[in-house]
Chain A
Amino acid sequence: MLRTQLLWRLLPSVMVVILVASFFAYRLAFDMANEAYDAALFDSARSLAQQIRVGSGARPALELPRAAEEILLFDPHDRIYYRVTAADGATVAGDARLPLPPAALTGAAPVHFYDTLIAGERVRASAYALFADGETPAGTVIFAETLVKRRHLLERILFTLVVPLIVITVLAAGLVWYGVRAGLAPLNDLALSLARRNSSDLRPVATDRVPGEVRPAVEAFNNLMTRVEAAHSAQQRFLSEAAHQLRTPLAGLSAQLDRALLAQDYEALKPALVQLRGASRRVTRLVNQLLTIARAEPGADPKREFAEFDLAALVQETCREWVPDALAAGVDLGFAGDAGPLKMVGHEALIGELLNNLIDNALRYGARAGQSVTVRLTQDPQPEITVEDEGPGVVAEERSRIFERFHRVAGSAAGGAGLGLAIVREIARTHGAEAWVEAGAEGRGAVFRVRFPAQKMNRSPNV
């Protein structure tokens, strides 16, 4: 989910920023507090030093009244240690366990703070140099305290920093969560309005309330909707047209059935039966054509069944199958051109269907008894199937329209639904081929051409 994703991306950076800021704030506060404690420690060391008498040549001597010692050495939290040494390092007073400063003190730097251990316990120490006559080193005063106060302070600083840190983090997370949700609200509205839509409602989505970042996606979606709408209404038209086309032969069927049921004897029955068979053949042909269209359509994805086959063999075999029909109609059906082989990649059954429709069309509308229909296959430079007849031809203004579904040339004879050439064009399109009709040589007859794209491996070597 987008919101969780954003949260996971934002929260770590927020945390890092807060942690870094806190670290520096902590260091600053800690250093300042430590400095204050160190100053107090130094005050104590100096007070102690004031109680020491330093004679030239003599050892320093501590003269500390009882009351002063109590005040000086009393601390409510920490244990206090002190040590006074002579110039040679010998302890004059105080606790000899207290270590000396790591570096010797000089007149230029008479004070030194350092961390050290006493009886295994960490202490903070302040060393103060004593001078006789203001310049001769006479000894050192060391004053030290345990770290209880400082630890308390540290804890308090940490606590006051960490609690707001947690609060701020939680607040930031909440803000991100809420902000993302508010930002995504238009998307949610969009999803909701789409989910509530009726499946037939293909109107485009209004883009005015959609955030700019999402607009390209919504516009692409709208574009798709427009195309789906177009395809959908084309399907709708096709379906209702197909149903109308089926009605006619079905009406004939039922009329002839009524006639047959009234017949008293076989002689009266027979004409009705002949008509019935004709009507049933028309329905059969129409349904087969509709199925072919459905299979050739891009939605059915006929490309999945594409394979290499020999176009020359297919064309000749298809022609052979039509010869008995042609002979029955008194038409001379022949083949001319390459005997092949001519390898191409495509849907063999659909190409066969394409040719079936072209020959069927030529026999139905093109050729009359005594005329001829010639199927040609050439391949220079692209494979091309042509079907020529010697019939009346197709007038110029009809030439593109006869390939439309359910279009029939006005006044044409034999009954058909006007699907045959639509099938031809549909199958051609599936194969990236062009299909058109032109006038025959010297303006006689019609020539139907289907030109396929150039094949990668046109001709396999003759075996």
Chain B
Amino acid sequence: MRILVVEDDLILADGIANALRAAGHAVDGVASGLDADAALTADEYELVVLDIELPKFDGFEVLRRLRRRKSTTPVLVLTARDAVHDRIQGLDLGADDYLTKPFEMGELEARIRALVRRSRGAADDLIDLGRLSIDVKGRRAFVDGRAVELSAREFAVLEVLGARAGRVVSKEALISTVYQWDREVSPNVMEIFVHRLRRKLQDAGVGIRTIRGLGYLLERDA
């Protein structure tokens, strides 16, 4: 994938470019708003990583010109300014995501992956959790390639937990994926689903933790 990195701090630009190249992307780097605008006019990029504080004219202006040309290229804005109104201005101008400096390279890569997925218009069809894999399109789950017997609702719960593996999903969010929002459902109903899922996934290399008062978290066994 071809990515344009617009960043005037050379050390940071070099770090970003190297990390993205290591991840298999083709990366061009420019250091000013003017050069960025020229590069974006001349070439097609699949993604732009854009700093706001730039010489010549700033990243907001680059973004404004890009969107005026009706380009839908995803833009990830980087900035040291984290005031809420700066963030709002960036998003209003058509930025797709916002990352405040300093950041972990891993987070930048994850955000880029998410942006590209979103711009290609498709979520992952297959959630890979080691021995467990979830086929979102086929509505089936496999452990070591063998299908697991799951009801439609059990699968829906597993899908949400699997898509956010490692993070806490609230009971309310899970219930709303299983039942229509206007149905009165006891929060305890989720305990039953989770109990069944735990039993069926006993040997799947994953565990579902109950997080007190907060919801559930699916984690891969260490």
Contact = CB atoms under 8 A, between A and B. Distances in A.
Interface of A: 280, 284, 287, 291, 295, 305, 316, 319-321, 323-324, 327, 332-337, 349, 372, 374
Interface of B: 82-84, 102, 166-168, 170, 209, 211-215, 217, 219
B102 A316 contact: no
A327 B219 CA distance: 10
A434 B59 CA distance: 41
A287 B102 CA distance: 9
A334 B102 contact: no
Given A295-B83, A324-B167, 20 more contacts: A316-B170, A316-B213, A316-B214, A319-B214, A320-B167, A320-B170, A320-B211, A320-B215, A323-B167, A323-B168, A323-B214, A323-B217, A324-B217, A327-B209, A327-B217, A333-B212, A335-B212, A336-B213, A337-B213, A349-B84
Does more than half of chain A's interface fall in helix, strand or loop, or is it mixed? helix
A323 B215 CA distance: 10
27 contacts: A280-B102, A287-B102, A291-B82, A305-B84, A316-B214, A319-B214, A320-B168, A320-B211, A323-B167, A323-B168, A323-B214, A323-B217, A324-B166, A324-B167, A324-B217, A327-B217, A333-B211, A334-B211, A334-B213, A334-B214, A335-B213, A335-B214, A336-B212, A336-B213, A349-B84, A372-B212, A374-B212
Contacts of B209: 327
A155 B168 CA distance: 106
A308 to B, nearest CB: 15
Contacts of A334: 211-214
Contacts of A337: 213
Nearest to B83: A295
Does more than half of chain B's interface fall in helix, strand or loop, or is it mixed? loop
Contacts of A316: 170, 213-214
Contacts of A327: 209, 217, 219
A329 to B, nearest CB: 14
A334 B219 CA distance: 17
What 3 pairs between A and B have smallest CB-CB spacing? A334-B212, A335-B213, A320-B168
Contacts of B102: 280, 284, 287
Contacts of B215: 320
A320 B214 contact: yes
A316 B211 CA distance: 11
B63 to A, nearest CB: 23
Nearest to B102: A284
A112 B42 CA distance: 116
Contacts of B219: 327
Nearest to A372: B212
B112 to A, nearest CB: 20
A70 B18 CA distance: 133
A291 B212 CA distance: 32
Contacts of B211: 320, 323, 333-334
A327 B216 CA distance: 13
A334 B214 CA distance: 7
A287 B211 CA distance: 31
A269 to B, nearest CB: 16
A324 B83 CA distance: 27
Nearest to B100: A288
A332 B212 contact: yes
B80 to A, nearest CB: 9
